[in-house]
């Protein structure tokens, strides 16, 4: 029997609203907060009931991909996509930074990006 159930995943970032808007554009869902630009906590309620939260961390040092020896990833999100090339263009237009997008002509099942706050995430072939 489980001890707990997952409530949400909280992500530290310097600008919670900006990062919530980025992930809302990528994943859908509804942003819920106090409607101020300087919010210290913003929730993104995703389709299907999951929730991401964005917590203000003004001095955040983003992880360095692919380093594990210093300032490691801490965590990352894997996001399934139907059309890798279309999703690539869309996340770039939203402000993502490509970190490792050489998928060897489609032989590798994922590409790695950083969100606007510098957190790594992967687009994975569904």
pLDDT tens by residue, 25-73:
999 999 997 666 678 899 999 999 999 999 999 888 888 777 766 666 6
Domain boundaries, the chain: 1-57, 73-126
What global pTM score does this model have? 0.82
Report the mean per-residue pLDDT for the chain.
87
Q: What is the DSSP string of the chain?
A: --S-----EEEEES-HHHHHHHHHHHH--EEES-S-TT-SEEEEE-TTS-EEEEEE-TT-----TT--SSS-----EEEEES-HHHHHHHHHHTT-EEEE---TTTTSSEEEEE-TTS-EEEEEE-
Taking 70 as the threshold, does the pLDDT of residue 7 lie above it?
Answer: yes
Q: Is it true that domain 1-57 has CATH number 3.30.450.150? A: no
Taking 80 as the threshold, does the pLDDT of residue 82 lie above it?
Answer: yes
Taking 90 as the threshold, does the pLDDT of residue 76 lie above it?
Answer: no
CATH homologous superfamily for 73-126? 2,3-Dihydroxybiphenyl 1,2-Dioxygenase, domain 1 (3.10.180.10)
> Are domains 1-57 and 73-126 of this chain identical in fold?
yes
Average pLDDT over residues 10-37: 90
């Amino acid at each position: 029997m489980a001890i707990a159930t997952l409530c949400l995943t909280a992500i530290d970032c310097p600008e919670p609203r900006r990062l919530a808007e980025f992930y809302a554009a990528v994943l859908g869902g509804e942003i819920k907060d106090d409607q101020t630009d300087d919010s210290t906590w913003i929730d993104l309620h995703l389709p299907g009931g999951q929730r991401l939260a964005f917590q203000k961390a003004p001095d955040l040092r983003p992880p360095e991909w692919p380093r594990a020896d210093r300032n490691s990833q801490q965590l990352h999100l894997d996001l399934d996509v139907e059309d890798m090339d279309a999703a690539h263009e869309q996340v770039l237009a939203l402000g993502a930074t490509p970190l490792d997008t050489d998928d060897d002509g489609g032989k590798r099942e994922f590409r790695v990006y950083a969100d606007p706050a510098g957190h790594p995430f992967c687009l994975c072939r569904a």
